[in-house]
A and B are shown apart, each in its own frame.
Chain A
Amino acid sequence: MLYITYNTASAFICFLMALVFLFNDKDAAWRLMILFLLASLATEVLGIFMRHAVHSNLGVYNIYVVIECGFTSFFFYHLYGNYSGKLKWLLAWLAFFLVMYIAELLYNNFADFVFISATIMSVVFVLASLLYYFLKMQDDHFEPLLSSGPFWWVSGALFFYFGSTACNLFFDYLKDHDTAIYSRSVRYVVFVALNIVLYTCWSYSFICRYRQQRSSSY
């Protein structure tokens, strides 16, 4: 029961949805989503294990930030594909992130969460989501967004990364004065809510993607 939390449960359901609906997807980027969700789920489980075993799971989450940044950036780049997304921008961003990430790790002596890198990453993903919306609105070609997989994937990312801004802004304070609420920290409760929103949007986007693939194959 230790490993069954809101976060692991929602991540597991989303992973199952990805497995069912994206396994036979024609697009490798969407299929890669299954592995990414598996990594997310493994991180959550490992995080719980590490917290109980060695009383710190910072290392696990610090590694996960790199995977998260790499995959999410790549996926955004993939979604921009139709609008001539440039590879050099993706590579420049990833290089910048890595330099910043390593510098922060060294600055913290590997003893703290890479808060600044994660916050900047969130801001970049919020901007990337807004850019996607902008491109969609500019596009003369009409696409039913209510049933568009990419649109709901981006919306999930926007809800998560924009919604976590309040927690990121209060991060330093919460780190020192985290307040107990319902036997959990405030930050934890907010992130549970954000994870549920994120995984719901993404699960729906997988269903949309599956239906889109099926209808186009007829």
Chain B
Amino acid sequence: MQVSTTEIVFLLGLGSLIFLIAPLFLVMYVLLYNRNKKKHAEEKMAMQVSYETELLKTQMEVQEQTFKTIAYNLHDNIGQLLSLMTITLSSVNVNDTARTAEKIATVEDLTKRSMKEVKALSRLLQGDELLGKGLTTAIEAELDFLQRSDRYKISFTRFADIVFDDSSKAIIVFRLFQEIVNNIIQHARATEIFVTLEQVSGMYKIIMRDNGIGFNVDEKISSKTGMGLLNITKRAALIKGTAYISSIPDQGTVIILNIPIAQ
């Protein structure tokens, strides 16, 4: 069969055109993919910046919380003890030997208690160092300090030690813990606090329960005063964790933090 000139020109032209268009689409696809990669990189960077900002904020909040506790303790505890010592010492009558000995013994006891309080405070002041020793140690120290107030009966159960490779994650979890404890102190009117640390299938679980007045979770979250609870959920999500909040009015509240162990 004879092929005409026009047919050859047409076939070759079409063939070459197709073989030129194919790489054109490929180049366009690679460029588009690269543009998406840039967008993804920018989003990743923004998330990193937001994470670092949040981390910095959390670190400052941990410090602020520590200072508040110290100020509270200095005023209400050590201050009271020192006042009692002053009153006791000023009432000493050197001629009444028997009473003086008794009063000096009381002052001695008050001094010892003050020293214990100062020691506990200094331990709290080293919050960052405590975190360095492990999150479990820091949580234990915080609960220990809370117990000293005699306002709460605290049950601490440890089925697992919480250890993170990433120290920033430990700071965020510690702050979550502090925030929950703060909520209990300020709003729950509880007498008992139960804290449990567990490890379940690649996750650390921190369960915090109180026997306080409780609240309606949905109502609280949708109201302006529920910012703290939202903050807890948001912070947990920041480290790819979850915060489950359950509360029944007049029966207490349970908050379960699930934090993945891996990065």
Q: Are B37 and A142 in contact (CB under 8 A)?
A: yes
B226: interface (CB < 8 Å): no
Range, interface on chain A: 20 to 34
CB of A78 within 8 Å of the partner chain: no
Bound complex: CA A133 to CA B30 (Å): 7
Given A158-B26, A167-B16, A169-B15, A146:B9 Cβ within 8 A: no
Is A159's CB within 8 Å of the partner chain B? Answer: yes
Chain B contacts of A163 at CB under 8 A? 16, 19-20, 23
Contact, CB under 8 Å: B23 / A193: no
Min distance, Cβ B17 to any Cβ of chain A, angstroms:
8
Q: Tell me what chain A mostly uses at the interface: helix, strand, loop, or mixed.
A: helix
Please indicate which of the listed interface residues A142, A167, A177 has the most CB atoms of chain B within 10 Å of its own CB: A142
Asked whether B34 lies within 8 Å of A145 as measured between CB atoms, the reply is yes
Within 8 A of A (CB), among B145-199: none
| A162→B15 contact, CB < 8 A | no
Q: In the assembled complex, which residues on chain A have CB atoms less than 8 Å from the CB atom of B24?
A: 159
B37 / chain A contacts, CB cutoff of 8 Å: 137, 142
Nearest Cβ distance between residue A100 and chain B, in whole angstroms? 23
Q: Which chain A residue lies CB-closest to B24?
A: A159
**How far is it, in angstroms, between the C-alpha of A207 and the C-alpha of B150 when the chains are bound?**
76
A190–B31 contact, CB under 8 A? no
| Residues in chain A near residue B19, CB distance under 8 A | 162-166
Number of A-B contacts (CB under 8 A): 74
Secondary structure class of chain B's binding surface, majority of residues: helix
Tell me the bound Cα distance from A169 to B12 in angstroms.
10
Against A, the Cβ 8 Å flags (1 = close, 0 = not) of B6-30 are 0011011101101110111011001
User: Can you report 22 residue pairs joining A to B where beta carbons are below 8 Å apart?
Assistant: A133-B26, A137-B33, A137-B37, A142-B34, A145-B31, A145-B34, A146-B31, A155-B27, A162-B23, A163-B19, A163-B23, A164-B16, A165-B19, A166-B12, A166-B19, A167-B16, A170-B12, A174-B12, A179-B5, A180-B5, A186-B9, A194-B16
List the 3 closest pairs (A to B, CB-CB), nearest first. A166-B15, A163-B20, A166-B16
By a beta-carbon cutoff of 8 Å, the part of chain A in contact with chain B is 129-130, 133, 136-137, 142-146, 151, 155, 158-159, 162-167, 169-170, 174, 177, 179-181, 186-187, 190, 193-194, 197
